[in-house]
Homo-oligomer: A and B are copies of this chain.
Amino acid sequence: MGAAPLIRIDDPSDPRIAGLVSIKERDLIGREGRFIAEGTVVLRLLAAAHRSGRGIAAEAILLLESRVAGLGDLLAKFPPEVPVYVADAGVFDAIAGFNMHRGVLALGRCDQLPGGDALLARLPASSLVLAACGISNHDNMGSLFRNAAAFGVDAVLMDQTSCDPMYRKAIRVSVGSVLTLPFAREGTAAELIGRLQAAGFALWGLSPRGETDVAEIPPAPRTALLVGTEGEGLPEAILSAVRTARIRQRPGLDSLNVAMAAGIALHQVARVNGRI
C-alpha cells in the first residue's frame, strides 16, 4: 500500500500536518512557496510533476481513512520520503477547516520555477504558448490552464498582475494542469510581448474588436495567443502592438468569458497547426 508507511494522525494540531491546517484561510496569507492539491486526479498529476524535476515537489499527503484502500496505485507513484498521513473524518475535517468530502489532500512546494526567458529557451521549434495579462479570478486561471493542457499548449506566460496559478482553487479547476504545464508569471505586459516576439512567436491578441477571425489565424511554427483581464480585455496599448483576432458572436451581448474565449481560440490554433 504505497511507497511510504501510513502514519495515523489523531490530533488536528499535530505539527506534522501543520501545513494542511485551515487550507481555506491559508490561501489568503503568505504561502511561502507551498501549495495545496485536492482530489485523486490532481494528486496523480502532482506525482508526475514531482518525478519530472521541474521544481514542484510533494511534501506530505493526507488521506481520509476510508479512501486509503482504493489509492494504493496512486501512492506508489510517490517516493518513500513523502509521508502519507491518515485521519478519520472528524480529525480530517478539523485539519482542513471544512467538510472536505473528497478526503484526499497534499501539501506541495514549488522551488525556483524557471522564469519566462528560461522557459522559452527550452521550447521546441514548433510550439504553442498561451499568454495572459491581468487575470484576477482563480477560476478563470484554472480554466485557462485546463484548456491550455487540452489543446497542447507548451507553456503559459503571465504578466505580474495576473493571480497566482498555485492558489488552491486554480489548481483544482485546472484539474491539476497547473502542476504539469510549465508557466512563468513576471514582469509587465509589454515585457511579456517583447519576450515572445524576440523568441519568434506570431503573437495574436484576442479581443471582441480583433481584425482576424480566430478560425483564419494562419499556421505558424510558433504561435502565442494573448488574452486579457476579465471585463476590460486587453488594453489598446497592447492591441496596437500585436495582431488581433476575434471570435464571431451575436452582437449586443457581453463578450465571452476569458477562459471560454481562450478555449475556442486554442482549439482553432491547435487544429490549424496539427497539434491535436
Residues on A lying within 8 angstroms of B by beta carbon are: 41, 143, 146-147, 149-152, 175, 177, 215, 247-250, 253-254, 256-257, 259-260, 263-264, 267, 270-271, 276
Instruction: Write the chain B residue with the least CB distance to A275.
Output: B250
Contact B151 A253 (CB under 8 A): no
For residue A177, which residues in chain B have a CB less than 8 angstroms away from its CB?
253
Contact A271 B215 (CB under 8 A): yes
With beta carbons under 8 angstroms apart, the residue of B41, B248, B263 that contacts A254 is B41
Say whether, besides A143-B260, A146-B257, A257-B146, A250 and B151 are in contact (CB < 8 Å).
yes
Contact B147 A256 (CB under 8 A): yes
Contact B249 A151 (CB under 8 A): yes
Q: Which of A147, A175, A260 has the most CB of B within 10 A?
A: A260
Contact B250 A271 (CB under 8 A): no
C-alpha gap A7/B119 in the complex (Å): 59
For residue A259, which residues in chain B have a CB less than 8 angstroms away from its CB?
260
For residue A215, which residues in chain B have a CB less than 8 angstroms away from its CB?
271
